[in-house]
Amino acid sequence: MWTFTEDTKKISRGGGISGSCFGKFFPAAIMASDTDVSLLVIVVDVNPIWWGQQAHREPEFTLAKCLDAVMVLGNSHLAMTRSNKLAVIASHCQDSYFLYPTKKSADNGGDESSSGDGKYELLSATNNQMAEEIREILSKTEVRGNSTDTLLAASLAKALCYIHRVSKELEVGQEMKSRILVIKAAEDCALQYMNFMNGIFAAQKQNILIDACVLASDSGLLQQACDITGGLYLKLPQKVALAQYLLWVFLADSEQRSQLVLPPTAHVDYRAACFCHRNLIEIGYVCSVCLSRLPSKSSCDRWSSPRRRSSSSRCNF
């Protein structure tokens, strides 16, 4: 065997590698305990309107190809360590759905044994359940009215609730590192600004990283989320290379990313949304009583109504 000596910094024949030198030649991820849990929650934008238009613009990149890339990332994360956990949430314009895990997977008990053909049963079961769930979601989708925005804030809240539930199920002495990856397709919805920001600050308080992979135009909300929580923001240069970018940028956790050459940090759009119209504004006025943001210098509607008038009368700017 080989021994690393402190004096000469050379390799010599001997009884083994000393403990003091082991950490210098092997990454910390290898030395980490197998009992530590790394939970990755992937939120995928499956807005049927956006993906329908995308199929006409670029037939080579469809929702099916996007989900294939998500499965590749999920399988790679699960294959890194047996203690790794995965969750996938589909963010729709009507609701948010768990693609994995589902009630069916919980009832099956999560068999992780190896099959006769050498395939890891956990990965195979994960792919099959995700494909089955997305087929069921799309088959019952009926877009009605003008509400076609992706419910991203609701999906983020559901991801945070799931992370909190998993953390309560840990054994004594176990630690868990959690992060959320949002794969965004449709445009931002200013009406969800307040709910989304509440989710961002909740994630920051729980030390949960939020990463973002944007397929279309830049997302100011996700830029703020990544900057506040310490995650990575990536606007995909080539949609057909989604799987390669996911593995390169988002497979490694926060501790391993310092050893990788990653894309440079993007400019963050910190514009806030006004409380009256939910529009993003660059310059606004803040109420001195309720801290509402308004686009113009006027009386605050929240305190001008007789039913909600306070002792300090209405808000002044």
The answer as to whether 18 is a domain residue is: no
Q: Are residues 214 and 251 in the same domain?
A: yes
Average pLDDT over the chain reads 80
Q: Identify whether the C-beta of residue 182 lies closer than 8 Å to the C-beta of residue 152.
A: yes
pLDDT value for 297: 61
pLDDT value for 4: 44
The answer as to whether 287 is a domain residue is: yes
pLDDT value for 288: 65
The answer as to whether 31 is a domain residue is: no
Q: How big is the CA angle at 175 (ends 169 and 177), to the nearest 5 degrees?
A: 100
Q: Are residues 225 and 283 in the same domain?
A: no
Q: What is the pLDDT of residues 118-161, one digit of tens each?
A: 567 778 888 889 999 999 988 887 766 556 789 999 999 999 99
pTM of the model: 0.78
The answer as to whether 221 is a domain residue is: yes
Rounded distance, CA 75 to CA 79, Å?
A: 6
Q: Are residues 88 and 221 in the same domain?
A: yes
Q: Identify whether the C-beta of residue 212 lies closer than 8 Å to the C-beta of residue 249.
A: no
The answer as to whether 10 is a domain residue is: no
**Residue 30 binned pLDDT confidence (cut-offs 50, 70, 90):** very low
Q: Are residues 165 and 50 in the same domain?
A: yes
Q: Are residues 86 and 214 in the same domain?
A: yes
pLDDT value for 142: 73
pLDDT value for 72: 95
The answer as to whether 284 is a domain residue is: yes
Query: What mean pLDDT do residues 218-232 have?
Result: 93
The least confident of 78-92, 106-120, 131-145, 298-312 is 298-312
Q: Are residues 211 and 162 in the same domain?
A: yes
User: Count of domains in the chain?
Assistant: 2
Of 258, 282, 305, the residue that ends a domain is 258
The answer as to whether 84 is a domain residue is: yes
Q: What is the CATH number of the domain that holds 251?
A: 3.40.50.410
Peptide bond into 237 cis (omega under 30): no
Q: Are residues 280 and 205 in the same domain?
A: no
Q: Are residues 193 and 310 in the same domain?
A: no
Q: Are residues 308 and 248 in the same domain?
A: no
Q: Are residues 228 and 167 in the same domain?
A: yes
The answer as to whether 63 is a domain residue is: yes
Identify the domain containing residue 219 by its residue range: 37-104+121-140+147-258
Rounded distance, CA 227 to CA 203, Å?
A: 12
Q: Are residues 83 and 218 in the same domain?
A: yes
Q: Are residues 189 and 295 in the same domain?
A: no
